[in-house]
Amino acid sequence: MDKWLKSNTFVKIMSVGLAILLYIAVNDTPLGRQPANQTTATVIRNVALDAHIDGDRYVVVDMPQTVNLTLRGSSFLLNRVVVGNYRAYVDLTPYGTGVHRNVPVKVEGLPEGIDYVTEPSSVRVVIEEKQQKEVDVQIETVGQPAEGYTLGTPRVSPDRVLVRASEARLEDVELVKAVVNISGQTETIRETVELKAYSGAGDVLEDVEVVEPEADVKVPIVSPSTEVPLRPQVKEFPADGYSIHNLAVKDNRFTVYGNKDVIDQLDVYPGPALDLSGVSKDRTFEVKIPLIEGVNRVEPETVTIDVDVRRAERKVLENIPVKVRGLPDDKQANVVSDEDGTVSVTLEGSPERLNEVDRRDVEAYVNVSDLKSGVHEVEVQFDLPPFIQAVETASIQIELKNDT
């Protein structure tokens, strides 16, 4: 150690090191770094220039869009400057219409202790009084509804609005539009939509004020449809001794809306089932049309049906062959009763309709689809012309056997 202390080179190195440590201790700053309180400057270019103005009365038609901003302050404060916390603007509230020069540019939102200079420090501003005019509101639809569905006639409220802008800018305004997306839709759209002004070339005019900025729109999405006649049903027949001669549907063309696979199968629409129990004279019914599965709407929703009721007569038809329905492929059926596969039937209806019925218009059958092998007493059922009833039931014995 004594040898090192006697060396001039070692003493010089130690002196420099002690000097550096002393500097760091006094200044509390790492070597090579600037003190936090040292004043420095930075430049922020292309800062958006806003305008404080009475927007209900005036519009700025000419003014620089940006300025450059030079900031001076400590490094600590400058590091706290964040985009969005400050803004450059001109205060135009004291000014009216005309050309105004040397309007000072101001900055707000900077941390306290930072000085600023803008380039330019003042600007030229042209102000005009806002003009207004009425324009039509149109609906623009985007996309296509779901497959098989069609677009109805859109409605918008209000259908005319006021727009405000400079006189020159108003000349560019052709219309105001509400844009509605209908892609894949299957139901009518009802919503509130933002309105924007458009030029004749279809460009959005962002600087044009729409006084009523929103509108209520209704865009009908129409399901697949078909136009068919309606066939009324009978739930209960008239009083004893009376019969239906005719059911007449007024204006018998109806538009049916629903699933495409259902609509495509319709040749006639099954109408409401009338309860005619106790009816002994002509009646008119106005009833709501029921919706069958796969149908969501029928227009019109109600139907008027005139019922022609007359005194009933009876007629007997004999030797009607009985057919077998619902026979499985692995079975065979034989008639084992004395009727030998034929029956007689007593029919009831209006005289005019009965006179037109013969054996060829009547089909008798038994349904064996739910029967097992063996002998069964089965009720005979009849397919009959409209408004003709079988008033006496019959049955026959059927033997079902496995088909060997």
In this predicted structure, the answer to whether residue 36 has a pLDDT above a threshold of 70 is: no
Point out the domain boundary residue: 184, 199, 222: 222
Q: Name every residue whose Cβ is closer than 8 Å to that of residue 153 and which is 6 or more positions away in sequence.
A: 220
Residue with the bigger pLDDT between 392 and 230: it is 230
- In angstroms, the Cα distances linking 265 to 140, 255, 259, 292, 344 are 35, 14, 10, 13, 36
Structural domain includes residue 201 = yes
Are residues 337 and 381 both part of a single domain?
yes
* 46 plus 96 within the same structural domain: yes
Domain count along the chain: 4
CB 44, CB 67: distance < 8 Å: no
Residues 243 and 293 in one domain: yes
211-242 per-position pLDDT tens digit: 999 999 999 998 888 999 999 999 999 989 99
* HSE-CB for 150 with a 13 A CA cutoff: 7
State in Å, rounded, how far the first CA of the chain is from the last one: 125
| pLDDT tens-place string over residues 10-24 | 555 666 565 555 554
Q: Give the end of a domain, one of 252, 279, 311.
A: 311
Distance between CA 256 and CA 187 in Å, rounded? 16
Residue 29 inside a domain? The answer is: no
Give the structural domain span for 250: 225-311
Segment among 3-12, 194-203, 360-369 with least mean pLDDT: 3-12
Q: How much is the pLDDT for 37?
A: 63
More confident residue, 36 or 103: 103
C-alpha torsion angle, residues 34, 36, 39, 42 (rounded to 10):
80
Q: 194 and 119: one domain?
A: no
pLDDT at residue 25 tops 90: no
Backbone angles phi, psi at 19, to 5 degrees: -65, -40
From the list 310, 335, 307, the residue with the least C-alpha distance to 323 is 335
Question: Are 190 and 156 contacting, i.e. CB atoms less than 8 angstroms apart?
Answer: no
Q: Quick one: what percent of the chain has pLDDT higher than 90?
A: 58
pLDDT band at 26 (very low <50, low <70, confident <90, very high): very low
- In eight-state DSSP terms, residue 396 is E
What would the mean pLDDT of 265-286 be, rounded to a whole number?
Answer: 93
Residue 394 domain-assigned (yes or no): yes
Report pLDDT digits (tens) over 277-291.
989 999 999 999 999
Instruction: Give the model's confidence band at 3: pLDDT under 50 very low, under 70 low, under 90 confident, else very high.
Output: low
Domain end (from 129, 147, 182): 129
Is residue 200 situated within a structural domain? yes
CATH assignment at residue 139: 2.170.120.40
Q: Cis peptide before 300, with omega less than 30 degrees from 0?
A: yes
- pLDDT for the residue 401: 87
Least reliable range by pLDDT among 3-7, 39-43, 135-139, 146-150: 3-7
Looking up residue 53, the CATH number of its domain turns out to be 2.170.120.30
Report yes or no on 10 lying in a domain. no
What's the predicted TM-score (pTM) here? 0.53
Q: How far apart are CA 62 and CA 208, in angstroms?
A: 15
327 domain-assigned: yes
Residue 12 covered by a domain:
no
Classify residue 367 by burial, with Cβ atoms within 10 Å: 0-12, 13-18, 19+. middle
User: What is the reported pLDDT for 18?
Assistant: 58
280 domain-assigned: yes
Say yes or no: 196 and 239 in one domain: no
